[in-house]
Structure 1
Amino acid sequence: MTGRELILATKPFAKEIRSKSWLYLLSTLVLLIVATAGTLLVPHPALKLISSVFMALLMLRMFVIYHDHQHHSILYMSVIADVIMSIFGVLILAPTSIWKRSHDYHHNHNSKLFSASIGSYPIATKDKFRSMTRGEQRTYLFVRHPLTILFGYFTMFIYGMCIMSFTSAPKKHWDSLVALLVHGAIIWALQHYIGWQAVIFTVFIPHFISSAIGAYLFYAQHNFPGTSFSCKEDWKYEVAALESSSHMLMNPFMRFMTANIGYHHIHHLNSRIPFYRLPEVYHAIPALQNAKTTSLKPMEIAACFKLKVWNPELNKMTGIEQ
């Protein structure tokens, strides 16, 4: 199948099963509430930590469900779902106005060289990087640095999604300010009424872990050995989806916690496919089983982080000196 034939082949799967959408949304919310309660109510610090880690992973799953809703692939035109997702977007520090605008741009410009880095990590060619000033080079490498991704709670969400979006367009992204104020109010209330332990286990650890994993997934799904980038004139949507988006191999537990976002090449091919139907599409269309892969294994994570610039001579991502 050609790229466009593959898009057409996925269309029958781009229909949600409404009952499943509600089941997965509500069950995830219930599990998230239980884990949150565990961080506050269980007495032993070790149990609080376990609850905190599960809270982080469930926040990650809920974020992918929220992301699907923003693509209109699930619960479209549901007022109740809109309210739930808007509240979650504020609580997760990725309010709907900035998330949808930046993520839609990402889908429409994925793997384009010389486009704005809105909604994605910046990509420069080797020659472009060498022509940058020292300050521009440091900024470029800082944004893509492993520590910047590890501290995504502060760099991507608090600063990028909230502070930067609000200061750049206050009227358009007023909900980013709301997210910051609500986040601060939650921290103040937990510290004032319960104590700093509640802030650490209920806010800091869950947000830190979920943001770090989310930031890395977003990075590695398009910055992996074998990915490709094109000039605007040569760019094609379906080619970008299949050649520049990875199939991230995961165990069943992580597939559940990431709501199947590892099937990223299929998601980019047709973003209207609900997350719970992505494995179905993968098994139904053999051509989609040959995607470029990466995983969460330490060696593969390290390989992804080594990639810094696009080398058009080698037609691949490389380190700066290659």
Structure 2
Amino acid sequence: MRKGKELILATKAFAKEDRSKSWWHLVTTMMLFFASMAGSFFAPWFALKIVFGIFQAFVSVRFFIIYHDYLHHSILQKSKLANFIMTLFGVYILAPKSIWKRSHDYHHNHNSKLFSASIGSYPIATRKKFESMTRSERIVYLTIRHPLTIGLGYLSMFIYGMCISSFVSSPKRHWDSLLTLVFHASYIALIAIFLGWQSAFAGILLPFLVGHALGSYLFYAQHNFPGVIFQANEDWAYEGAALKSSSYMKTSAFWAWVTGNIGYHHIHHLNSRIPFYRLPEAMKALPELQTATVTSLNPRDIIACFRLKIWDPERGEMVGLS
């Protein structure tokens, strides 16, 4: 069984895109995205608008994974058209390129480290650290990790985290975060004025609420699941963080399509240059990738992930407060 650099080198065979396949996935996803948006705006009945709005949410998650892969340099590099599309989509989806790439690259380089900034990830406290916190510090920590906060990722992770917080911390560096907020507010207002509140709700607010809730939960559960391992910085290794601190989320074919195979998260963390459509191929070919800890979108697994609050070094596992 290969380990370390040998295993990472073995994955390089899959870190090659099929350019025509990349464009196929992007173009078909865009077509479904705009078709569902049109349906949510112009369908004759509110119930039908809602159906289109929910489907738009699912397609937006898939579009985000394609955007995410583009910023990892795994697909469509050196294409001015792709760069234009991805820049616009980043603004539309409340994750402009400058802040998403900076925070997500940090996350990949520090995933599962116990003593690093929680940039691009949910904070992790050891039992000792949690017990030494003041009451207000505990409230903040638990609020960030609360299911309601994660479920309202549209407000907490994207509007506040990606846009407001990033702009306040560095206005010159993240001016596009302010531009994103202005565009988003204007977009909602214009649709409400010209097409009515039902279209604004079904075509914008509902897709953002549902899509960002799913995206926020995926991001949480991929690194907060029963069996996850966290390590002190000096013991941290890139390969171990990928295979032991990133889950394999087993899903149906439909959810695999919606989530762009991001459930193969341990492989993505081992080599982020593998295009999303080649992740299943890599797992099938390399036995070393087939032993990852499994979670799913089953309600029992979701509850189990949400119950985890702090890292207990003595037990070597994430535990609840009880």
Shorter-chain TM-score range = over 0.9
Residue equivalent to 1:100: 101
Q: Aligned ranges for residues 31-110 of structure 1 at < 5 Å?
A: 31-110=32-111
- The residue type paired with residue 252 of structure 1 is A
- The residue type paired with residue 10 of structure 1 is T
CA displacement at 1:46 relative to structure 2: 1.8
CA displacement at 1:194 relative to structure 2: 1.1
Residue equivalent to 2:305: 304
Query: Hey, what's the Cα distance between the residues in 1 that align with 2:142 and 2:279?
Result: 33
CA displacement at 1:320 relative to structure 2: 2.1
Query: Hey, what's the Cα distance between the residues in 1 that align with 2:41 and 2:321?
Result: 47
DSSP-derived class of the 1:16 partner: coil
Query: Hey, what's the Cα distance between the residues in 1 that align with 2:108 and 2:132?
Result: 28
Query: Hey, what's the Cα distance between the residues in 2 that align with 1:2 and 1:165?
Result: 37
**2:320 is equivalent to residue 315 of structure 1:** no
Query: Hey, what's the Cα distance between the residues in 2 that align with 1:313 and 1:134?
Result: 24
Residue equivalent to 2:193: 192
CA displacement at 1:180 relative to structure 2: 0.3
CA displacement at 1:115 relative to structure 2: 0.4
Q: Aligned ranges for residues 108-257 of structure 1 at < 5 Å?
A: 108-257=109-258
DSSP-derived class of the 2:290 partner: helix
Deviations along 1:128-169, one digit per CA (max 9) or x if unpaired, are 011111111110000000000011110111111001100110
CA displacement at 1:24 relative to structure 2: 0.4
- The residue type paired with residue 246 of structure 1 is S
CA displacement at 1:191 relative to structure 2: 1.0
Moved over 3 A (4+): none
Deviations along 1:176-211, one digit per CA (max 9) or x if unpaired, are 001101101101110111111111001110000000
Identity %: 59
DSSP-derived class of the 2:300 partner: helix
Deviations along 1:18-53, one digit per CA (max 9) or x if unpaired, are 111111001100010000010012112221111011
Number of aligned residue pairs: give it. 321
Query: Hey, what's the Cα distance between the residues in 1 that align with 2:204 and 2:277?
Result: 28
- The residue type paired with residue 151 of structure 2 is L
- The residue type paired with residue 69 of structure 1 is Y
CA displacement at 1:3 relative to structure 2: 2.9
Deviations along 1:46-68, one digit per CA (max 9) or x if unpaired, are 21111011100000000000000
Query: Hey, what's the Cα distance between the residues in 2 that align with 1:86 and 1:150?
Result: 26
Check conservation: 2:248, 2:294, Cα contact below 8 A. yes
Query: Hey, what's the Cα distance between the residues in 1 that align with 2:316 and 2:88?
Result: 43
Query: Hey, what's the Cα distance between the residues in 1 that align with 2:6 and 2:39?
Result: 48
Deviations along 1:242-279, one digit per CA (max 9) or x if unpaired, are 00000001000000000000000000000000000001
Query: Hey, what's the Cα distance between the residues in 2 that align with 1:167 and 1:110?
Result: 25
- The residue type paired with residue 219 of structure 1 is Y
Residue equivalent to 2:275: 274
- The residue type paired with residue 38 of structure 1 is G
DSSP-derived class of the 1:277 partner: helix
Residue equivalent to 1:294: 295
Query: Hey, what's the Cα distance between the residues in 2 that align with 1:293 and 1:3?
Result: 21
Query: Hey, what's the Cα distance between the residues in 2 that align with 1:125 and 1:45?
Result: 48
**2:6 is equivalent to residue 11 of structure 1:** no
Query: Hey, what's the Cα distance between the residues in 2 that align with 1:73 and 1:13?
Result: 10
Residue equivalent to 2:265: 264
- The residue type paired with residue 134 of structure 2 is T
DSSP-derived class of the 1:290 partner: coil
- The residue type paired with residue 250 of structure 1 is T
Query: Hey, what's the Cα distance between the residues in 1 that align with 2:33 and 2:306?
Result: 31
Check conservation: 2:41, 2:200, Cα contact below 8 A. no
Query: Hey, what's the Cα distance between the residues in 1 that align with 2:71 and 2:133?
Result: 36
- The residue type paired with residue 24 of structure 1 is H
Check conservation: 2:42, 2:199, Cα contact below 8 A. no
DSSP-derived class of the 2:211 partner: helix
- The residue type paired with residue 269 of structure 1 is L
Query: Hey, what's the Cα distance between the residues in 2 that align with 1:165 and 1:99?
Result: 10
CA displacement at 1:4 relative to structure 2: 2.2
Check conservation: 2:49, 2:199, Cα contact below 8 A. no
- The residue type paired with residue 51 of structure 2 is I
Check conservation: 1:126, 1:320, Cα contact below 8 A. no
- The residue type paired with residue 226 of structure 1 is G
